[in-house]
Amino acid sequence: MKAFKFYRRYWAAIGGGLFVALAFFIGLWGQNLPDLQRFMVLMFMALLFHQFEEYIFPGGFPAAANIGLFGEKQDYGKYPLNEMSALTVNVFCAYPIYIAGIFCYQWIWYDIFIAYFTMAQFFMHCFKLNLALKSWYSPGCLSACTVMPIMGVWFLVYLAGNYTFPSYYWWAPICVFPVVAFLTILLPILSFRRRDTPYGFASHQADEFAVRHGIASLYRNTK
């Protein structure tokens, strides 16, 4: 249980270590991978980088999401998003989606879905969350505005120029996107939401300062 508790709090930092390991792997042996599979590894790396920005440096996404996306004004350090639901959404749900793409890279329709799933972070962070917080930045915004959309567009342009496949491969993933988003994001948050949850975030993630200044991991609440 102690190991799980540790992972529940520091999964994003561990994911940052995985990002570094994958960067070395791609740099040293990436040329041996099929192009589609290499793209899928890079998509997974983009996810890990994004999560590190949200939860580690600068961090503060938990409070930003609870205030900006769910309108919580009182228990935004633990409701409705808390440590358990964050772990479920980002690791138990998101990791399998991306890892499946790495091993099933021949399924082009699924690769396109992952590209759309990745690029959707741009609209969630750079429009919805920033507008809700009335801020030019929200935790995760930098990677969502740069790395993730660039990776997605680069991959889609590559596909269009090098592969031939049915036209529905382009639009079918869009149709299933709302269902997948509900099952992997909203449903876990709703399932674990409790105002008396024991899975509240650490103070440097939960304080509103993290939302206003976006440097949560540099701040410790001294009140």
Question: Which DSSP letter does residue 201 get?
Answer: P
| Per-residue pLDDT tens digits for 9-64 | 999 999 999 999 999 999 999 999 999 999 999 999 999 999 999 999 888 899 88
The answer to whether residue 223 scores a pLDDT higher than 90 is no
- DSSP class of residue 197 equals -
The tens digit of pLDDT for each residue in 51-65 reads 999 999 888 899 889
Share of the chain above pLDDT 70, in %: 93
**pTM, full prediction:** 0.91
Query: Beta-carbon neighbour count of residue 114 at 10 Å?
Result: 25
Instruction: Give the burial class of 54: count Cβ atoms within 10 A of its Cβ; 0-12 exposed, 13-18 middle, 19 or more buried.
Output: buried
Yes or no: say if 44 and 101 are a contact pair by the CB < 8 Å rule: yes
Give the three-state DSSP class for 125: helix
How many other C-beta atoms can be found within 10 angstroms of the C-beta atom of residue 162? 9
- Report pLDDT for 136: 80
pLDDT confidence of residue 219? 35
198-220 pLDDT tens trace? 999 987 777 765 556 554 433 33
